[in-house]
Structure 1
Amino acid sequence: MKQSTVGVLTIGQSPRVDVTPSIQHILGDGVTIIEAGGLDHVAIEEMASISPDASDITYISRLRNGSSVKIGKSKLLPLLQKELQELEEKTSAVIMLCTGDFPTIQSRKPIIYPDKVLNSTVGAIMEKGTLGLIIPLEEQRNTLVKKWANDKLDLKVEVASPYEESDVFGAARRLRAQGASLIVMDCMGYNEAHKKDAVEGSGLPVILPRTLTARIVAEYIS
């Protein structure tokens, strides 16, 4: 199937100059990327309105000015849906630039969820054993442990944000010490340099969702 235009939908603000070049490199120059973001039409002074409540699921993403913001999932969903509807008019397929799950999002075009790609890939690689997760925020720990829960997998979790100075090397080393045999960096904000630090810190295979997802999309559109 030949497709030349792919959408990238971030939960923060577009353009994601910190992520899209990695995806473009894998898709190739013959593919046009069009970006949109759930917070594209939310002004800086309005950001408090999308902050997570105590009972909400917390996400974190990047704003256009380079800063990061915590987002409540319940407040994000209608904003994402609106941006997706407009993005689908211009593209043949859309990459969701978040490893969270969004079962209520409605789409008319194929939408590739890194969450599903990650889970399927890990399931294909390891049926049982100890899986290490590196996640951006401590407040995401319980949600992500539930997401990855599997009777055959023992989960170990360390926190190291991709959006500020953090010790990815140390987090990966601690996961290795806890018995992990594979590490997943569970956020699209992690980049190739973060993966390099994780590999060097642990000596283990490390899965980076942005490049893994881009390779799946490249296969689909080729």
Structure 2
Amino acid sequence: MVNGKVGVLTIGQSPRTDVTPSIQAILGNEIQIIERGGLDSLTEETLEEIAPELSSTTYISRLRNGKSVKIAKDKLLPLLQQELTALEEEADVIIMLCTGDFPTLTTTKPIIYPDKVLSHSLQAIQKNGNLGLIIPLEEQRESLIGKWKNLKMDIFVEVASPYEESDIKGAGEKLKKKGADVIVLDCMGYNEIQKQEVKQVFGGPVILPRTLTARIAAEYVL
């Protein structure tokens, strides 16, 4: 018996078989997940339409074939709004599957933004100290530091992609040496295994956006 419907909106292509099982495990089988993606209308031949330029705010996500893709935010937004408008017709609440900010998106349904969940959660539990970020792309460094400045914590950043082979454990070790008190894996692509790899070498709290956000959604629908 289905007791509710949660929409999952990825900035890449749906289905996100690498992420939604984590969300479903927290929501339980009574909740139906409905997926859409900002790039669902694109093919491998037309993906160049969303390629970043030097001045672009760049995101990274996953295609349905398992490959990762870099995305220009300004080119993504109209496509994302189109999919969101369709998704709100089917879902009770929507999870944005990206830790970026999307203030221009409009919807008639409640939407859970992981970046807001993360920042407010850290404000509530970590009043001071040093924040360690593990991020997917070097070109995101400055924009993500800017996003977290409101916490008034010293910020240390290491780069390790959740989608390509990278040294996530090494990134955790470096952040520990720099003096981080808490680490955020700042992308919905990071998974539970990668979190544990970081936690093994770090020893302190490691925040995984996909599971934190899913727990907020569960509180809303269950």
In which range does the TM-score fall when normalised by the shorter chain? over 0.9
C-alpha distance in 2, partners of 1:4/1:184? 30
- Tell me which residue corresponds to 2:109: 109
- Tell me which residue corresponds to 2:97: 97
Paired residues, number? 221
Contact 1:3 1:92 in 2 (8 A): no
- Deviation, structure 1 residue 151: 6.6
Deviations 1:77-96 (A, max 9, x none): 00000000000001111000
Contact 2:6 2:91 in 1 (8 A): yes
- Tell me which residue corresponds to 1:25: 25
- Tell me which residue corresponds to 1:88: 88
C-alpha distance in 1, partners of 2:158/2:62? 21
Q: Which amino acid aligns with 1:90?
A: E
C-alpha distance in 1, partners of 2:48/2:151? 39
Q: Which amino acid aligns with 2:103?
A: P
- Tell me which residue corresponds to 2:169: 169
How high is the TM-score relative to the length of structure 1? 0.98
- Tell me which residue corresponds to 2:52: 52
- Deviation, structure 1 residue 128: 1.2
- Deviation, structure 1 residue 197: 0.5
C-alpha distance in 2, partners of 1:3/1:103? 30
Moved more, 147-156 or 66-75: 147-156
Contact 1:168 1:197 in 2 (8 A): yes
How high is the TM-score relative to the length of structure 2? 0.98
C-alpha distance in 2, partners of 1:32/1:127? 36
Q: Which amino acid aligns with 2:56?
A: D
C-alpha distance in 2, partners of 1:207/1:93? 23
Cα distance, 1:79–1:150 mapped onto 2, change above 3 Å: same
Q: Which amino acid aligns with 2:129?
A: G
Name the SS for the 1:147 alignment partner. Answer: helix
C-alpha distance in 1, partners of 2:174/2:70? 26
C-alpha distance in 2, partners of 1:104/1:150? 20
C-alpha distance in 2, partners of 1:213/1:91? 16
Alpha-carbon RMSD across the aligned residues, in angstroms, is: 1.1
Percent of matched pairs sharing the same residue? 63
Structure 1 residue runs without a partner (length 5+): none
Structure 2 residue runs without a partner (length 5+): none
Greater than 2 Å deviation, 4+ residue runs: none
Cα distance, 1:193–1:90 mapped onto 2, change above 3 Å: same
C-alpha distance in 1, partners of 2:58/2:191? 21
